[in-house]
Amino acid sequence: MSAFKTLDDLGDVTGKVALVRVDLNLPMQEGTVTDDTRIRAAAPTILELSEKGAKVLLLAHFGRPKGERVSTQSLSMVVGAVEKTLGKEVMFVPEIAGPVVAQSIGILRAGDIAILENTRFWKGEEKNDPELVKAIAANADFYVNDAFSAAHRAHATTEGLAHVLPAYAGRSMQAELEALDKALGNPEKPVAAVVGGAKVSSKLDVLKHLVKQVDHLIIGGGMANTFLAAKGVDVGKSLCEHDLADTANEILAIAEASGCTVHLPYDVVVSKEFAANPPSLRTCNVHEVAADEMILDAGPNAVETLGDVLKTCRTLVWNGPLGAFEMVPFDAATVALAKTAAALTAEGSLVSVAGGGDTVSALNHAGVAQDFSYISTAGGAFLEWMEGKELPGVAALSA
Ligand code: ADP
Ligand code: MG
């Protein structure tokens, strides 16, 4: 992993002004924050800087105001929720640069915290405009990036600032980078990857990258159907991208050339209707799917084999459920394999890292999220990292 500075590398910051990029893109309903997970993720960094005596200015985006002031997307709405989670008073500043910010800094005492306005109210944010970067930086002494979830974007406050101010990774960013490095950067071998979910087309680059990196690639969900069909299996009415047969075969060929074993289910759970507990539910061999049936989960024999694969591995990276887990009983394969992974992690034989919106819900549903070594909640950034891409926000911290 390329080297980046952390809060451990800060000298005396008493009275110094810190610009801290965090993720405050919080779920809201009628002006009220409904889930403070992202605030809790940023809290250790904010409180540590505050305790060290810095004046802490939080920078974040909210929604997609596209460079205009949109009053319903002002970050003033999250101040109460942030105060509650931090247990500290937080000032709101309706600008991100200029004299209003400078005056506010004059009022703040060492250790005080302020939230600046939604960075996306300014067009220069998403354009990474050097003038805006300079104007924001002018009020500060150093920059901390604690928003891994925004690190796949080269914006003024996620990337630009790191080039003009002394830049540090916050605690949450640091934990994410260390976990991801253990999973794919510098993993203990053998490595298994589970890639599931609805469509191959949404994860082509992930698959292409992983087959060259891992020892076992476990393909599940709707995307397994595309691979099965490409191998000549009749998948009936299953969700399947028949036009991607050539691509699927190409990926299988790269896997073979790279010594990666690809696992596809050989028994499956099928039904005629896309519904929970359907009357036509049955389990069969992949070669026995009828023309009017669809595959909605991996079968019990496949899951047992996959569990045995994980037992031989030291590292697991997981994105995408093995079946249509929102409907019972098509959650069974995902839940069973997740429990095996959690147990192996608890025993200390497996490092397990998972990410993706539906994956996190599926692991919560299985009741094992806290047993994985690391769960990333950074949707887009996590996937780009699984594609092997360098994230601009991370690269800028190491420059
Ligand atoms: P993530 O958000 O973790 O990246 P995806 O969005 O790629 O995951 O995929 C999750 C979706 O895939 C879920 O809504 C799930 O119901 C669907 N899915 C999984 N297996 C199947 C299947 N066999 N048929 C239809 N949909 C499926
Ligand atoms: Mg999803």
Q: Report angle CA 388, 393, 394 to the nearest 5 degrees.
A: 60
**Whether the CB of 323 sits within 6 Å of ligand 1:** yes
DSSP state of 181: I
Instruction: Check residue 60 and give its pLDDT.
Output: 98
Q: Which residues pair with 376 in a beta bridge?
A: 355
**Whether the CB of 197 sits within 6 Å of ligand 1:** yes
> Distance of CA 100 to CAs 92, 104, 125, Å?
11, 6, 18
- Find the ligand nearest to 201 CA: 1
Cβ–Cβ < 8 Å for 331, 323? yes
> Ligand 1 pocket check: which of 281, 296, 358 to mutate, most ligand atoms within 8 Å of Cβ?
358
Cis peptide before 166 (omega within 30 of 0): no
In whole angstroms, give the CA distance from residue 208 to residue 186: 19
What is the Å distance from ligand 1's center to 160 Cα? 35
Could you confirm whether 38 is annotated as catalytic? yes
In whole angstroms, give the CA distance from residue 17 to residue 285: 63
In whole angstroms, give the CA distance from residue 79 to residue 57: 13
**Whether the CB of 22 sits within 6 Å of ligand 1:** no
* Residue 356 alpha carbon, nearest atom of ligand 1: 3
Domains of the chain listed by start with CATH number: 7-172 (3.40.50.1260), 187-386 (3.40.50.1260)
Could you confirm whether 357 is annotated as catalytic? yes
Q: Give the pLDDT of the chain (399 residues) as one tens digit per residue.
A: 558 999 999 999 999 999 999 999 999 998 899 999 999 999 999 999 999 999 999 999 999 999 999 999 999 999 999 999 999 999 999 999 999 999 999 999 999 999 999 999 999 999 999 999 999 999 999 999 999 999 999 999 999 999 999 999 999 999 999 999 999 889 999 999 999 999 889 899 999 999 999 999 999 999 999 999 999 999 999 999 999 999 999 999 999 999 999 999 999 999 999 999 999 999 999 999 999 999 999 999 999 999 999 999 999 999 999 999 999 999 999 999 999 999 999 999 999 999 998 999 999 999 999 999 999 988 899 999 999 999 999 999 997
Rounded to two decimals, what is the model's pTM?
Answer: 0.92
What is the Å distance from ligand 1's center to 194 Cα? 13
What is the Å distance from ligand 1's center to 240 Cα? 12
**Whether the CB of 296 sits within 6 Å of ligand 1:** yes
Structure tokens at 239: 């969700």
Could you confirm whether 52 is annotated as catalytic? no
Could you confirm whether 237 is annotated as catalytic? no
Q: What are phi and psi of 114, to 5 degrees?
A: -135, 150
* Residue 326 alpha carbon, nearest atom of ligand 1: 16
Instruction: Check residue 2 and give its pLDDT.
Output: 59
Instruction: Check residue 377 and give its pLDDT.
Output: 87
> Distance of CA 239 to CAs 93, 178, 227, 319, 325, Å?
49, 36, 11, 18, 14
Q: 5, 199, 208, 389: which one is catalytic?
A: 199
Instruction: Check residue 314 and give its pLDDT.
Output: 98
Cβ–Cβ < 8 Å for 265, 296? no
Q: 111, 185, 307, 357: which one is catalytic?
A: 357
**Whether the CB of 357 sits within 6 Å of ligand 1:** yes
Structure tokens at 105: 């800094």
**Whether the CB of 39 sits within 6 Å of ligand 1:** no
